[in-house]
């Protein structure tokens, strides 16, 4: 996989992605209101908040699934009022979903291979023929995919259809598929949801390793506060679509507005 220092433009610690004054409405529902924050290259950034706070909507804005009515997104120095999913993906933003979104009938290997699609230079026709340049390219992609399988310790399930795997392993395969894109920014929507303690510990370790070994910047939504405080460099807190706090875990933990939000104290 790509080494951390091979990326152009943004140095470790610089702002990789900036969200400025973003507002998103669905009819009369205000999902996000005037939210600004940034994600620095190389950090693990958590987005937290009670149910319905706008966290998933924010990830969907960042990777172009939703187009905000107001505000701007700047990624690697390029500012847009809206992203398109294909552009976001081709420029290095990958994501996983709250409910696992894999091809359930396909094997672990094929699901992760599917994550390489954007990297494939030869068209579908050549891939079908498995001929000449396409063959060489497929071998190259398989090498990266096998590295990811080793890294995530899922060799034993490489040929198993993912629908047959326990949930914790499906989440790990989904992480593998996102990693296959060799993303610069990885968005994880509740990566530990539905996991038992052991599975959570494994996933925490993989997230930390992805960050430290590949230099991948990570933004994650997570409800488990212990995990958030242990993993994150900085935390942004949303409530009813507005930002109520932003800082290092210790600051956020002792912030009264955050404590009230989690206890359900009305404003
Ligand atoms: N596609 C949509 N159409 C209409 N309303 C939506 C849509 N997506 C989100 N919303 C609304 O926007 C608000 C924010 O939802 P969002 O899913 O972003 O919150 P969340 O913080 O991720 O919540 P949770 O922790 O429960 O997943 C909610 O009121 C939700 O009902």
At 152, is the secondary structure helix, strand, or coil?
Answer: coil
Confidence of residue 76 (pLDDT cuts 50, 70, 90): very high
Least confident range from 98-112, 221-235, 243-257: namely 98-112
Query: Does the CB atom of residue 26 touch ligand 1 within 6 A?
Result: yes
- Out of 48, 49, 53, mutate this one to test ligand 1's pocket (max ligand atoms within 8 Å of CB): namely 53
- Helices 167-179 and 132-151 cross at an angle (nearest 10°) of 130
pLDDT at 105: 87
Mean pLDDT over 125-131 rounds to 54
Least confident range from 77-81, 101-105, 236-240, 248-252: namely 101-105
Mean pLDDT over 42-71 rounds to 95
236 pairs with which residues across the strands? 47, 246
Q: Cα(60) to centroid of ligand 1, in Å?
A: 10
User: Is 137 or 177 the better-scoring residue by pLDDT?
Assistant: 177
Q: Nearest Cα to 93, choosing from 42, 17, 149?
A: 17
Mean pLDDT over 197-201 rounds to 91
Least confident range from 12-16, 64-68, 248-252: namely 12-16
Tell me: pLDDT of 3 over 80.
Answer: no
User: Is 146 or 118 the better-scoring residue by pLDDT?
Assistant: 146
The residue extents of the domains of the chain are: 1-92+185-267, 104-181
d(CA 107, CA 218): 26
pLDDT above 90 as % of the chain? 65
Q: Where are the beta strands (DSSP E) in the chain?
A: 15-26, 29-40, 44-48, 70-75, 78-80, 93-96, 185-189, 217-221, 234-239, 242-247
- Its CATH class, for the domain covering 1-92+185-267, is alpha beta
Query: Does the CB atom of residue 66 touch ligand 1 within 6 A?
Result: no
């Amino acid at each position: 996989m790509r080494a951390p220092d091979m990326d152009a433009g943004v140095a470790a610690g610089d702002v990789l992605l900036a969200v400025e004054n973003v507002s998103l409405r669905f009819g009369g529902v205000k999902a996000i209101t005037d939210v600004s924050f940034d994600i620095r290259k190389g950090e693990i950034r958590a987005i937290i908040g009670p149910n319905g706070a706008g966290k998933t909507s924010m990830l969907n804005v960042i990777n172009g699934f939703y187009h905000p009515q107001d505000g701007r997104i700047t990624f690697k120095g390029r500012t847009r009022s809206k992203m398109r999913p294909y552009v976001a993906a081709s420029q290095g933003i990958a994501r996983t979903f709250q409910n696992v979104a894999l091809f359930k009938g396909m094997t672990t290997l094929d699901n992760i291979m599917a994550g390489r699609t954007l990297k494939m230079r030869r068209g579908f026709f050549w891939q079908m023929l498995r001929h000449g340049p396409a063959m060489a390219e497929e071998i190259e992609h398989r090498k990266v995919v096998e590295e990811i399988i080793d890294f995530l310790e899922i060799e034993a399930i490489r040929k198993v259809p993912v629908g047959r795997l326990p949930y914790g392993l499906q989440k790990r395969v989904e992480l593998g598929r996102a990693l296959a894109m060799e993303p610069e920014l990885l968005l994880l929507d509740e990566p530990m949801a539905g996991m038992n303690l052991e599975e959570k510990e494994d996933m925490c370790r993989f997230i930390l390793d992805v960050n430290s070994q590949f230099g991948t910047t990570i933004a994650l939504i997570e409800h488990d506060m212990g995990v958030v405080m242990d993993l994150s460099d900085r935390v942004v807190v949303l409530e009813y679509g507005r930002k109520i706090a932003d800082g290092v875990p210790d600051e956020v933990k002792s912030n009264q507005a955050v404590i009230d939000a989690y206890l359900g104290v009305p404003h």
